Chains A and B, each alone.
Chain A
Amino acid sequence: MRGEALFLCLTERWPTMTDNVTVLMDESGIKRALIRISHEILERNKGVRDVILIGIRSGGAFLAEELAKSIAVIEGDAVPVGSVDITLYRDDIKNNAPHLPVGKTEIGFSLQGKKVVLVDDVLFTGRTIRAAMDALMDHGRPECIQLAVLIDRGHRELPIRADFVGRNVPTSLKENVKVVFNELNQPFEVVLEK
């Protein structure tokens, strides 16, 4: 369920076009999308008051940091940023298959009464988002949870939709959409693998 969010550290440039890989967004395209999402978050919530960004590990957590930076530039006020690891809330934990390593959840503040913007890189089945919302609820009762994603590739298996979308990409189930990050954990490219 998180296969689409594979995190890669690259020191060299990812091949822009081969038989199997198509670049959907480049660095400046991603930047523009994130700036637009930042404006939309501010518009919807009328500023940064009580707004908290929580990124889903690992791609979403990096994007949450980027969104926080551009919100700080636009509004002049910083928003708190946290991250959530959903491993312990997954719905596909099976016996007799090695359990995945657990990542760090860093929510150093109460979510009580806050407007939480959940951030992920690729929205696919919606199961990751379900797990993340369950995790957030265990940290208090937020006033609301909104969802921001860089890519929505469709194929939802749960009644979940995003409030802020960088780009909608119709895909087939055989394809894979990946947000590639550089060594500084900044988004670098979005690729479609066939």
Chain B
Amino acid sequence: MAEFKHRNIIALRDLTREDIELLLATAENMREINSRDIKKVPTLRGKTIINLFYEASTRTRTSFEIAAKRLSADTVNISPSTSSATKGETLADTALNLLAMKPDIIVMRHAVSGAHYHLAKKVSCSVVNAGDGAHEHPSQGLLDLLTMKDWFGRLDGLKVAIVGDITHSRVARSDIQGLTKMGSHVYLAGPPTMMPPAVERLGSVTVCATMKEAIQDADVVMMLRIQQERQGKTLMPNAREYSRYFGLNPENLKLAKPGAMVMHPGPINRGVEMSSYVVDGSQSHILKQVENGVAVRMAMLYHVCGGELE
């Protein structure tokens, strides 16, 4: 029987295919809880989970909080405007102070890539990554895998196109790690200014010169937002030109396989990376991704609580 032995989930890169399969199976079976009248199980009763969000978030924070509450854990939310970080406290000091209050899990989002590895060294509780800089966003990666697996019944052999700002996207990195481990074929497209050098090292991915090439006969088209807040300088002339070359619309969606899934990690800039016709169209699975997010995060919190010390 498969066992999940990790105390922390910081990156899908650190997990094996078996770990990912177990998390997805648990999430699938936990979904039933979310459709009941009484949406709660007593599993993590008495556990305290701190949501430490140094970056803005609606979806992920709410989703993690709901996930924790449905497992009967107690949650505390800390955001930058109300935390001591604004008074100059370092992450390590914040962590040690929080640890003194005996939390069981710290769920953190941080603007610095790798901040979670630093945090995990400082604390004895579990650390779950809710997004770190341009590194990884494992819960989003897992919910993307679950949404695809639901629809196709498998992940093996799927052609998945990821289009947009690959350089600044932690979702893209988690998706690439997860998908290549599960046997899917990943095709990347985006403006050359937003394509990281040596991206092939992340896994067996194919970098395409044009968007058309990437989405041709794709089973899944994953669109990404332009992360202007992370881009140091201008990487594209303007949004209209970007939209023309790398935007998804009903016309170029026809290049993908009939009934291909359209996905987006959100938040969406309508009219830039995707036209509203596609966002609200029948092939869009964007809200399904959000729905699966709760079950996936429940599975993550459940399994890290049983993880061994690392």
Task: Verify that A and B bind, or say they do not.
Answer: yes
- A residues engaging B (CB < 8 A)? 85, 88-89, 93-106, 134-135, 138-140
Distance in Å: Cβ of A104 to nearest Cβ of chain B: 5
B38 on the A face (CB < 8 A): yes
| Per-position 1/0 for B255-299, Cβ under 8 A of A | 000000000000000000000000000000000000000000001
Max chain B C-beta neighbours (<10 A), residue from A95, A96, A106: A95
Distance in Å: Cβ of A75 to nearest Cβ of chain B: 29
**Assembly CA distance A101 to B40 (angstroms):** 18
- Report A-chain residues with C-beta under 8 Å of the C-beta of B32: 104-106
Given A89-B43, A101-B1, A139-B37, 6 more A-B residue pairs with CB atoms under 8 Å apart are A88-B33, A88-B43, A89-B41, A98-B307, A104-B28, A138-B38
> B302: nearest residue on chain A (CB-CB)?
A99
A104 touches B29 (CB 8 A): yes
B306 touches which one: A89, A94, A134 (CB < 8 A)? A94
- Report B-chain residues with C-beta under 8 Å of the C-beta of A140: 37
Distance in Å: Cβ of A112 to nearest Cβ of chain B: 9
B4 touches A99 (CB 8 A): yes
Q: Known: A89-B41, A134-B42. Is A98-B4 also a contact (CB below 8 A)?
A: yes
A138 touches B41 (CB 8 A): yes
B216 on the A face (CB < 8 A): no
Closest 9 CB pairs of A and B: A99-B306, A98-B3, A88-B41, A88-B43, A138-B38, A102-B29, A102-B26, A98-B306, A104-B29
A-B pairs with beta carbons under 8 Å apart, 27 shown: A85-B29, A88-B41, A88-B42, A88-B43, A88-B302, A89-B41, A95-B305, A96-B306, A96-B307, A96-B308, A97-B308, A98-B4, A98-B306, A99-B4, A100-B1, A101-B1, A101-B22, A101-B25, A101-B26, A102-B30, A102-B299, A103-B29, A134-B42, A135-B41, A138-B36, A138-B38, A139-B36
- Report B-chain residues with C-beta under 8 Å of the C-beta of A106: 32
**Assembly CA distance A89 to B30 (angstroms):** 12
B309 on the A face (CB < 8 A): yes
> A138: nearest residue on chain B (CB-CB)?
B38
**Assembly CA distance A86 to B63 (angstroms):** 24
Q: Known: A99-B302, A138-B38. Is A105-B309 also a contact (CB below 8 A)?
A: no
A99 touches B303 (CB 8 A): yes
Distance in Å: Cβ of B127 to nearest Cβ of chain A: 15
B26 touches A89 (CB 8 A): no
